[in-house]
Amino acid sequence: MTQFDEQATQGLYEKNLITENQFQEINKYRSLNIFSLNAELKLLLYFSVLLFTSGIGILIYNNIDTIGHIALLSILLVIIVGCFYYCFKNSRGFQKTETAFDNPVLEYLVLLANILTCIFIGYLQFQYKPFGAHYGLATLVPTIVSFVCAYYFDNKSVLTIAVTGLAAYVGLSVTPQDIFNENNNFYNNQNLSYSAIILGVLLILWTIYSFRINLKTHFSIIFQTFALHIIAIASISNLINRELFWMIFACILAASSYYFYKVSHDLKAMSLYVFMIIYAYIGLNIVLFRIFEHIDFSDIWELFIFLLPAYFIGSIVLFIKLIKNFHKEIAE
């Protein structure tokens, strides 16, 4: 990397894009061998937030009988209000484009405040049931708070919480009893699968609209990632479990794979590209298996067994080649 940086600087100097004095200053700065701990410090801050919120949960669990519910809820509320007040006071306000706090610690205070808000509302609903039997509202309220904070403070971590909450709310809204019934699961719940696909499409449409109005376009990678996983998993589950109309879901998976193939190149997102290939490969194999169910292999069974290892080895080689080619394309 150092050699690459030196060659890049030399190239800028030879093209007269920087002066000789600037070239010497850059080389002098590099000779100091200064390196940044920014990523490491942010990682420590992230773990600090997780440890703090985990500690709050353990504190509630171990002292619920001695401290009391009202006291614990009051402590949580004071911390939440304090965090939000400090963040709003020191923020730059809402902006449509990407922005950041002057102090990166505040980003983690926003994350902390939103996690504690989820804990507060969940604890409040569990103990006092202010929303009654409408458990979806206990998910929707912190989801709305997270969306507002994500866009106001430009925080991707909080946006992840918000989209996760939205997905959970959709699930709770469709079949609130059946989802938590031990005799049922996601893959057997057709309505939930359909809702998941609709949610994924809505996330894609929101991303497209955001680009048109230039609203937090850097959030698109998060929305597209959630949309990819939601649509692909719902489609694959229906490919496996649906005896009728499974070809429709095969077409949905194929169309979504093509879309995310294009998006991964546009955004230069390796993660989208890798998961798109994985989901498409799984779907392709399921479709092939469903087709082969109606074919008699009794005469060529030995040949089929012989070719199967070659098929999987070839798939691995092709996967590696595709990743390498994609990496070259986004590096250009």
Whether residues 68 and 164 share a domain: the answer is: yes
C-alpha distances in angstroms, 172 versus 159, 165, 191, 196, 286?
A: 20, 10, 11, 12, 29
- Residue 193, pLDDT score: 83
Domain that holds residue 159: 39-174
**Does residue 143 lie within any of the structural domains?**
yes
Quote the mean pLDDT of the chain: 82
Whether residues 166 and 53 share a domain: the answer is: yes
- Residue 321, pLDDT score: 94
> Taking the model in full, what pTM does it have?
0.79
Contact 168, 138 (CB under 8 A): no
Whether residues 281 and 259 share a domain: the answer is: yes
Residue that is last in its domain, among 174, 198, 230: 174
At residue 176, what is the residue type?
P
Whether residues 280 and 195 share a domain: the answer is: yes
**Does residue 302 lie within any of the structural domains?**
no
Whether residues 132 and 197 share a domain: the answer is: no
**Does residue 224 lie within any of the structural domains?**
yes
Whether residues 137 and 249 share a domain: the answer is: no
Give every residue of the chain whose pLDDT is below 70, as ranges: 1-7, 13, 29, 31-42, 46, 60, 64-65, 172-189, 242-244, 297-299, 332
